[in-house]
Each structure stands twice: as C-alpha cells, then as structure tokens.
C-alpha cells in the first residue's frame, strides 16, 4: 500500500504517476499546494533528464527495452562512484527496481538522477515538502562534494548544475568524480556569491572545461544520436495503453490515441534535444524561471507535457491524456 502512494516516473513511457494528494495539480496548474507542486516538479525533472540530456537520449531505447544494467550505465567498475575501492568484501547489490546500491544507498547514475531532482525541489521550495524518513539520503554524493567544498554542498542550484553537466555525458558517475577531483574550489566558491544566473552559467563553464580537459565531451553526439526505432515505438505504445486503459479490449479500442500520444512525445523529445544542444544551460535557466513564477504551464510549453496519471489506476479519466491530445 505504501508503494501505491508514492509519486514516480516511468522512462518506459514518459509517464508520471502522482498520488491522490498530488494528482489534482495535473488538471490545475495554478494550484497553490506546494506539496503537490514539489511532487510534480521532482518527477518532471526525471522527464527532462530522459528527454533533454545526452545521457537520457543515448540510453532511452535501452531503458525502454529494460536492457540497461545500471551498474554499467553510469555505475561501472571504472566509476569511482560505484565504490569498488571502498566496497572491499561488502557487495554492491541490485534492488527490486534494478538499481545498484551499496549498504542500502543508491549509487552510480541513478543516485545522480535522484540527487538532481531533489536539488531542484530544494532550490525552488527551500525545504522538502514530503516526509523524508523513508527517502534515501544520498550521503555518497554529499560526502564527495563536501570533500571539495562545504559551501558548494549547501547550494541546491550549484549541485543541480553539476549533476546536469554529469548527465550530459555517457558516464555520469565517472564524470562527477572528474569534476570533483579537478574543481577549482576558490573559483567555485566565488561563483556562489554571485546572482543565480551568474552562478549557474559560471559553473557550467567551469564544469565543461574540466570535463573537456579530461577528454570527456558534453552532449557531443546528441545531434547524431538515432531517435526512436520501431521497437521503441511499439514498447511505448504498449506501456502507455497498459498504464491508462483498464483492459486489453480497451487498449485495442484506443490504440489510435496511444499512437498519437507516442508521436507527440517522440517529437517533443527531438525538440528538447535540440534545445539542449543549442544551449547547455537550458535546464538551469528554466529552473530559475520556474522558481520566480512557479508556472508549470510555461515549463510544459517549453519541454512538453508527459502523461500524468493517478498512481495505481488504469482509467483514462484519471490521466491528463485528453489535455495532451487536444
């Protein structure tokens, strides 16, 4: 029952599931319920990771096919964040969702993705809106950042930018280690004293220079990355119909809606990739704008509207599919 009440994002079908408290915001973007806003923002950041970052574009087909082993995609033996040196005789385990963990904590690319979404919440709302008693505390990443700069570790926007730069590479975990190992601490801390705009753009430049000086390119191949195959389209359509229609008979009846929806999402992912390739600071810029205005409609207009449905319910009337298809 606890799991059914959690918010989640499914990369297999660009689908956000929101619990009973958060779901109404899908139909009322002007809602002033900060807890609901925070929940939606967190999951929307995962959608953006999936559609705007090079990492998301590169691994999307594999993620949809459920073939990516997260210990390889961003948490492999060559990535220090997978903690091979610290593990010793202690095993790196795979949890029920296929994510690598060390002593119960997420590691690798998965940890960076979650950390980025959480930092977005902290930056916009100041404090977490949900009970964190059961949430994973990403002490691995926090400890790594604090080893470089205590000040840096206390800035949600700075951590968001660093995570975003890492997710713009093929191996986010290894990229994070490179950034932290080579970070010019005094320069980074000087940026923290500037406006958000100067901080974000300055950190992007700093991180990109570090990565490129170490032979790691950011978003280098995003224009050349092949988009969705027939297999991907089939998988997405199947996932969408299974999530919003209560029976196989309904799925067949409404396959046209699923086809149209997958086409809309596919096209939006192409647009997002182009936005990111043209402007590497696009996500941070949008997050800063969102903090000022709390305007989901403006955010969705730029990056697209994923499928949002009520957690655990398969019925199109408990989703925003009509809004997307209009």
Per-residue pLDDT, 54? 81
Per-residue pLDDT, 147? 83
Question: Is 255 within the bounds of a domain?
Answer: no
Note down the domain range covering 170: 3-225+262-325
Question: Is 257 within the bounds of a domain?
Answer: no
Give the whole-angstrom CA distance, residue 314 versus residue 251: 11
Per-residue pLDDT, 84? 44
Question: Is 244 within the bounds of a domain?
Answer: no
Question: Is 250 within the bounds of a domain?
Answer: no
Phi and psi, residue 278, nearest 5°: -75, -30
Question: Is 283 within the bounds of a domain?
Answer: yes
The domain tally of the chain equals 1
Per-residue pLDDT, 12? 63
| CB neighbourhood size of 270 (10 A) | 14
| CB neighbourhood size of 227 (10 A) | 13
Tell how strand 8-10 and strand 15-18 pair up.
antiparallel
Global pTM value? 0.87
Per-residue pLDDT, 214? 94
Beta-bridged to residue 308, according to DSSP, are 16
Please give the C-alpha separations between residue 193 and each of 149, 188, 311, in angstroms, as whole numbers: 14, 9, 41
Question: Is 134 within the bounds of a domain?
Answer: yes
Per-residue pLDDT, 298? 92
pLDDT tens for each residue of 283-315: 999 999 999 999 999 999 999 988 898 988 888
Question: Is 24 within the bounds of a domain?
Answer: yes
Residue numbers in the chain where pLDDT is lower than 50: 1-4, 70-72, 78, 80, 83-87, 132-137
Question: Is 106 within the bounds of a domain?
Answer: yes
Per-residue pLDDT, 85? 45
């Amino acid at each position: 029952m606890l799991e059914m009440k959690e918010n989640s994002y499914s990369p297999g079908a660009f689908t956000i599931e929101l619990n009973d408290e958060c779901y109404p915001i899908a139909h009322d973007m002007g809602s002033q319920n900060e807890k609901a806003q925070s929940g939606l923002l967190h999951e929307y950041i995962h959608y953006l990771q999936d559609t705007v970052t090079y990492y998301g574009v590169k691994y999307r087909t594999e993620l949809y096919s459920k073939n990516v082993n997260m210990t390889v995609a961003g948490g492999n033996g060559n990535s220090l964040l997978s903690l091979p040196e610290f593990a010793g005789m202690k095993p790196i385990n795979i949890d029920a969702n296929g994510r690598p963990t060390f002593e119960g904590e997420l590691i690798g690319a998965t940890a960076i993705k979650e950390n980025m979404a959480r930092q977005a919440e902290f930056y916009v709302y100041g404090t977490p809106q949900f009970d964190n008693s059961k949430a994973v505390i990403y002490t691995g990443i926090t400890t790594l950042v604090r080893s470089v700069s205590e000040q840096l570790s206390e800035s949600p926007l700075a951590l968001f930018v660093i995570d975003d730069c890492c997710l713009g590479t093929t191996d986010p975990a290894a990229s994070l280690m490179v950034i932290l190992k080579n970070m010019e601490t005094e320069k980074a801390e000087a940026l923290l004293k500037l406006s958000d705009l100067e901080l974000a753009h300055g950190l992007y430049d700093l991180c990109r220079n570090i990565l490129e000086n170490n032979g790691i390119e950011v978003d280098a191949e995003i224009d050349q990355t092949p988009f969705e195959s027939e297999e991907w389209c089939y998988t997405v359509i199947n996932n969408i119909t299974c999530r919003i229609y209560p029976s196989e008979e309904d799925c067949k009846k409404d396959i046209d809606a699923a086809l149209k929806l997958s086409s809309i999402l596919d096209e939006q992912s192409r647009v997002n990739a182009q936005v990111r390739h043209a402007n590497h600071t696009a996500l941070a810029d949008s997050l800063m704008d969102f903090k000022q205005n709390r305007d989901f409609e403006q955010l969705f207009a730029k990056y697209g509207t994923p499928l949002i449905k009520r957690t655990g319910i398969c019925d199109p009337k408990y989703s925003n599919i009509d809004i997307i298809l209009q």
